[in-house]
Amino acid sequence: MRRLFAAVIFAAAATPAFAQAPAETRGDWRVNLGAIGFATPSYEGSNSYKARALPLVEVDWRDTVFLSAERGLGANVVTLRDPGGRGAFRAGPFVNYRFARDEGDDDDLRGMGDVKGGVDLGAFASYEFGPLALRVAGRRNVSHSELGGTIDLGLRYRLPPIGRTVVGFGPSVTWADSDYMQSYFGVTAAQATASGMRAYSPSSGFKDVGLSANAMHPLGGNWALTGFGGYKRLIGDAADSPLVKDRGAANQFRVGLGISYRLF
């Protein structure tokens, strides 16, 4: 389930920056509803993939309060725009839910038990200037401290429109603390006995680097089609985990297609 949730985040990240109308031409509310289908690893580090389909919801009020799978529920507490209107800095808190990783999600998780789900609290800061957007976000689980937290840094570049199609792409990197690494990549002595894998205790550090791309094409009226794809390489102690090195794969891919309707 946790990989499913991560895939929704990835999918939603491909949509809002390009599917919304310019701020000066819309009202107080922006609401997009739709559906998305995608293929994603069955768990973080898996070499097997599953196809999924989920609803997509994106809500924004006055560029202040937002709700999305990408960012959760949060607020732009600080918004600063440059006088020329080309750049904007935003920062604020958010809350999201991290779904559990179930042992039954993949045969390679046998003997590992379940990883609990829980609430993540975090903060973000972003800066957009013309076609470039830089975002950093840190989050930590407050329901179960052993689930730990991560810091994500991403850069995105929006290409000039190709006809009516808008394309964006960019790199990303993720740092994880020792609690997160142990929960998702570690193997305790008991888990080693139950799973047949070697015991493993990873340390905090950078866990992945990646590159993703998306395209949004208006279909007429308020309808839009979004395609996305991404590659992530697990690195450091994450890549050395028996769940990845012995049973899974450090190379992680994601691809999908979604359709959305802008209510207003």
| Residue-wise pLDDT tens digits, 208-219 | 999 999 999 999
6 near 70, Cβ under 8 Å? no
For residue 26, the model assigns a pLDDT of: 55
Residues in the chain: 264
* Percent of the chain's residues with pLDDT above 70: 90
Mean pLDDT for all residues in the chain: 90
For residue 95, the model assigns a pLDDT of: 97
Q: What is the CATH number of the domain that holds 126?
A: 2.40.160
Between 8 and 201, whose confidence is greater? 201
Q: How far apart are CA 96 and CA 66, in angstroms?
A: 12
Tokens of 76: 């732009």
The confidence band for 71, taking pLDDT boundaries of 50, 70 and 90, is: confident
3-state secondary structure the chain: CHHHHHHHHHHHHCCHHHHCCCHHHCCCEEEEEEEEEEEEECCCCCCCEEEEEEEEEEEEECCCEEEECCCEEEECCEEEECCCCCEEEEEEEEEEEECCECHHHCHHHCCCCCECCEEEEEEEEEEEECCEEEEEEEEEECCCHHHCEEEEEEEEEECCCECCEEEEEEEEEEEECHHHHHHHHCECHHHHHHHCCCCECCCCEEEEEEEEEEEEEEEECCEEEEEEEEEEEECHHHHCCHHHHCCCCCEEEEEEEEEEEECC
Q: Per the structure, how many domains does the chain have?
A: 1
The confidence band for 16, taking pLDDT boundaries of 50, 70 and 90, is: very low
Report, as an integer, the average pLDDT of 189-196. Answer: 97
Q: How far apart are CA 237 and CA 38, in angstroms?
A: 28
For residue 5, the model assigns a pLDDT of: 42
Tokens of 15: 């949509």
Between 20 and 200, whose confidence is greater? 200
Structural domain boundaries, residue 70: 2-262
Tokens of 159: 């290409």
| CA end-to-end distance (rounded Å), the chain | 31
With a cut of 50, say whether residue 84 has pLDDT above it: yes
- How wide is the angle at C-alpha 149 spanned by C-alphas 145 and 150, nearest 5°? 175
With a cut of 50, say whether residue 3 has pLDDT above it: no
The confidence band for 49, taking pLDDT boundaries of 50, 70 and 90, is: very high
| Residue-wise pLDDT tens digits, 89-113 | 999 999 999 999 999 999 999 999 9
The partner residues of 38 in beta bridges, in order of sequence, read 52, 256
